[in-house]
Each structure stands twice: as structure tokens, then as C-alpha cells.
Structure 1
């Protein structure tokens, strides 16, 4: 489930249609802003998600934790049906105790300098420390090249982050494959994890339904 709105403005964002109504990102993705967001009730959202018949629902954005109070009833309803929920977040919003108590999991992706966003907006110490206290949290960093790994290392040391994943920046299978090759040795040397982008390898930059 992808929610609209974001508190950051990453210039390479691959989902600018969730927040960039002015066309300020540099991805070249075409969209019509008025057709992107649709207001739905908690009951409608829950029904649609349960209809997938899966054991895990990922809630992404934009920045989904900006709407965590509104989406909490959906998470609670899914939990009652034993469906796990994972949030993909940029790590700038502290998760509520109620959301944690509902069993939500978190995939935290702090943004680096190449995002074009000022550090005081993209790095929120209180939020990162809170995520670091939660069990099962993964910290994923999008890296353009090996030089970005030094910046990641600074953040890992500063906030004592564990379960670190590195994902190459790219929107085509060729870019992802090259990024994996460029980053692999340095990631392995740091004993971090390396991740590709399976949906890009399968479908390229094509949007889903």
C-alpha cells in the first residue's frame, strides 16, 4: 500500500507522483498529480488488503509514518487477521507506541547527501535512536557508488545501527546490476548486507496497478 505525501524532496526519488506536484525531482517520470491520490475509509483499505490473501503487507510512500495515526486502525485490523505489516520509512518520524504495540515492523532508509536534502531534515537523531531500539528493524541505504559507503559508516557508528543493508541506486536492471558489482566487495568487507531491486530486474521502471 503506497500512501501520498512526503516530508523530504529527494531529487532522484523514483515515486515523485506521491508528493512532487511541482515536478521538481529529476527522474523524468511522467504522471498527472490529480489522478494519483484517492481518499478511502479504513474499512475500504482493510478489505482491499485482505483480499490479496497474503501474509505480509508493506506500507510505503512518500513517508507513511506521517500518517501513522490515520493508518493505525488498518494495522490493528490486519494484525487481528494475523497479517504482518512492514513500513518502509525514511527514518525521520518517530513511530508511535501504539503502532509498535500493534506489531508493525520497520524498514528504515535514511537518505544520504546525494538526495539533495539538507542534513537537519533527513537525519533525525531521536527517530533513528528509537528505531534502533526496536527488534527486527532493517536499515537500508541507497548508494550511488562506493564513496557513499563512508557516509553510511558514519551514521552506523553515530547511531549504533545494526542489520545494515546497502542497495544500489538505479531504475533499470542494467544500473542495478552494475551497482551491485561496484558495491559488493566494499559492502562485504564491512560485513553488511547487499540488496538488489527485484521489481526493477523483473519489470524495469514500469509502474504497477
Structure 2
């Protein structure tokens, strides 16, 4: 049946995993347990997103690897210099680090860029700059939601506990260039689970902002 095809099952998994994670984050006694699974959750969501890609070619893989590596690189420079996002340091929640930056932050950039990119692909046909500008704004709004949760649960922390405006400006610029590259590289952008994953992530952080932050 239609609802039991790969994309249907993937959507169910996405919703269930976000609901379970949300419950775990809402229960103080289980915070540490569920935080230990955050890296695995990110990898699982990335895997589900890739598994539901319409088709695979060398350009798709090139774009995927490029955004992951670019995401890690910009974060390494950002942490080392404070010149991009401001002065911040990563905690232990996101797992293994290289140069004080969790490697999974590149996977996170991949997830959010590909989700927003796939959702917007059907709008503003052939207007890549406009889609990238709108997508970058969406990603900044996501960061606004993520920041308080990330700080509370040791994803990262800011100098003097102040999130600088510089962070959001840099997020917009970096997001624009990542999305612009996404649209410029030629591969099928269709992904049936991208919208569900984007909505699930957004609701996850909205609820946590309203309840535990």
C-alpha cells in the first residue's frame, strides 16, 4: 500500500524518533540518557534523508560531501577565531571533535540545507538566488529556535552567555552560499521526506523553547 512505501515508513520513523527524543528532553531524569543518543539521531536522520533521495549521481554525492566538509571547515575557523559567528565553544553533546568542532556539525549542515533546499525547489522556478535568499532566512529562523536549546543541553556555549547578532548575520550569509551551491550543482532535488523532517525539527525546538528553556 502507498503509505507503507519507503518514503511513508521513513516519515513515520522521523516523527516517532522526534517524539521520543522530545519526551526524553522533557523529562529531567532522562536528559543524560537521551543526550547520549543525539549523535546517532543526527546520523539516522541524515541516512533517512539520503535513502529518500530521488536519484543518485556523482553530483549529488559531490554536493553532499562538499556541504559537510564546508560546514565543518567554517565551524573550525569560527571556533578558532571568533571572526565568523562570534566567540563560542562546543560542548560534549555532539560527540567526537576535530580542532574543537564536532564532526557531526557538518552532517547537521547537510541535513538542514538539503531539507530546506528540497522543500523550496518547487517554488520560484529557475530563480536560484531568490530561493537561496528565502532558504537562508528560514535557516536563520531555525537557528533562533535552536540556540536556547543548544545552550541548555551543552551542544555549545557563548562567551559571556550572550548570543551576538554577528552569529545570525553569519548564519544567513553561510546558509545562502550553501543553498546557492546546492541549487547550482545539477542533480535531482526531489526528496519526499525533507518537508516532514524540517517540520519535525522545527516543532521539536519550538516545544522545547516553550517548556524547558
Q: Which structure's relative contact order is higher, taking Cα pairs within 8 Å and 6+ residues apart?
A: 2
TM-score, normalising length from structure 1? Answer: 0.26
Structure with greater strand percent: 1
TM-score, normalising length from structure 2? Answer: 0.26
Structure with greater helix percent: 2
